[in-house]
Each structure stands twice: as structure tokens, then as C-alpha cells.
Chain A
Amino acid sequence: MRYDDVEVGASIGRRELPVRRLDLIRYCGASGDFNELHWNERAAKRAGLPDVIAHGMFTMARVGRLVTDWAGDPGAVVEYEVRFSRPVVVPDTDEGVTLVVEGAVAEKLGDGCVAVELTASMEGADVLSAVRAVVRLG
């Protein structure tokens, strides 16, 4: 992707990404975050949640892939930020839940840098807000 070819408002893509219990277990191990809310239904319910929830950082990572795939080089990402607005509740089913991720170019910042804004929703409701990445393109 080249800076001069990028237009404000252009889509950077749309993906449907499944999230299953096994993904959370694997992320517990890889990240070192074994908070019970991510794997123990009893603990989640004690905390007032309907069921276990995905790590916010897992969701942030999955959403970020839309940006890194678009940029071509994951090392081109200069900034990446999200707000976690709604827990991603993951039932113990084969299907799990599906995140719908979309993004578009929001601004050309000069110096080869482009800001993209993304949305991530589950069953029609946003799970992240203020999702923004800055990417330096060649």
C-alpha cells in the first residue's frame, strides 16, 4: 500500500472473525493473563457477567490484523489504540461468537502517515470504540 494511492474514506476491508473458548485458553497461555473471567464461568457469573469474556487484548489483536494485512508490513503501525466498550461474552459452544470488523481511511496525516478508524461489533453491538491506528506507508 502506497501513501499516494490512499484516499480518505476508502475501506481497508471487512472480516468476520470467530471467537471460541479454545481461543481464550490459548490466549491465556500466550499472554500470561489467566484472569478467571476469561475461562471460569463460575467466576464470571460471580462478577456479574453472563458468561466468560474474551480478553480485551485478544479482541484488540484480532481487530488489528485488519490494519496489518492492509498495510502489508505489520511494522508500519505507528500507533494503535482502542476503548473496550462492551465485554465479548463467549459461550461454551462449538460456534462461539463472531466479531465483525471493518475499517476505513480516516485521515492522511502527511509524512507518509495515514490514520485508519475501525469498528468491531458482535451481534450488531459495538464491543470496541474509538479504534484508531496510524500507519506509515511507503
Chain B
Amino acid sequence: MTINRAFLGHRFSAAEPYEVTRVKIREFAEAIGDPNPAYRSPDAARALGHPDVIAPPTFPIVITGIGSAGSPIFEPEFGMDYGRVLHGEQKYRYRRPIRAGDLLSVRGLVAEIRDAGPHELVRVETELSDADGEPVCTAVNVLISRGTAASGTGE
């Protein structure tokens, strides 16, 4: 099964903003095994000049990740088999750290779908903006669909 090229250039957005909480940031920091106090203590974060606890650099995946935020890539008509997908690349550019209390809006674009040898490659670009409409973070996510290219060895 190949990926539906009709989604190339598809834009999407989350139905409602993602509310960043101290509890979720702490849970994520625990899960990645990072004891940094800036992820847990408002006082420690303020000592670094932040208004509240901040999130680790890879936290945006919670907001833009699998099947979340209106992304079409795991809807059936997209044609991607979840069990064949590997993460190829991830890039982040931060205007400022994500912090507790942020209400983040998500706008995304399916920027590229192409064959790469026997595999297919999907690049999704996502912008996170705060409640004032100021950009916070840009994420570029490349997924590899193993063995599904029409010219490849996919089933």
C-alpha cells in the first residue's frame, strides 16, 4: 500500500489549543529521566529568568505527535501503515522555551511525500504559537514508511 499523494500540501490545525501544565511537563521529564529542576520547580525556573517551569526541548512531540493535533497522517485515507513507520529525522527551532501555562495552537503542513528507494518518506512541518499568536516553536518531522514504495519491495 502506498501513501496517498493527494495529501501533499495538505494543511491542518488542531481543533483547540494545547494547554501546557506543570504536571505534564514533570511527567515528561520523569519519562526521559531528566532531573533538571527547571522542569519541576517554578522557583528554579524563575532563577533562570523564566516566568514558570519550562519544558524539555523535545516536549513539543507531546503536542504534535502521533495522531494528535489534527494531523492526517494516521487517518486511514492517508494510506500509512503504523506498524511500518520509523522516525527518520526531527528538527526543532525554538523562539522561546515552552512553559507551563502556555496555550499553544498548532498549524501543520504535509510538506513532502516521496519515494526513497524501497521506502516512502513523509515530511510534516508544524508551527506552535502562543495565545498572543506569537510563534514559539517550529518542528520538522520526517517519517519513513518501510518498504511501501510502489517501485520497492512492499507487499
Contact = CB atoms under 8 A, between A and B. Distances in A.
Binding partners A and B: yes
Interface in B17-64: 27-28, 30-34, 36, 38-39, 48-50, 54, 56-58, 61-62
B93 interface: yes
Contact of B88 (A23, A31, A33, A83): A83
Contacts of B82: 35-36
B50 A87 contact: no
Interface residues of B, number: 40
Contacts of B65: 31-33, 57
A100 B27 CA distance: 24
Interface string A54-78: 0111101110110111001111011
Contacts of A58: 31-32
Given A68-B56, A74-B36, A81-B89, A27 B62 contact: no
B28 A31 contact: yes
A68 B54 CA distance: 12
A62 B34 CA distance: 8
Interface string B91-115: 1111011000000000000000000
A56 B87 contact: yes
B62 A32 contact: yes
A84 B87 contact: yes
A29 interface: yes
Given A33-B65, A35-B66, A74-B97, A61 B32 contact: yes
Contacts of B30: 26, 30
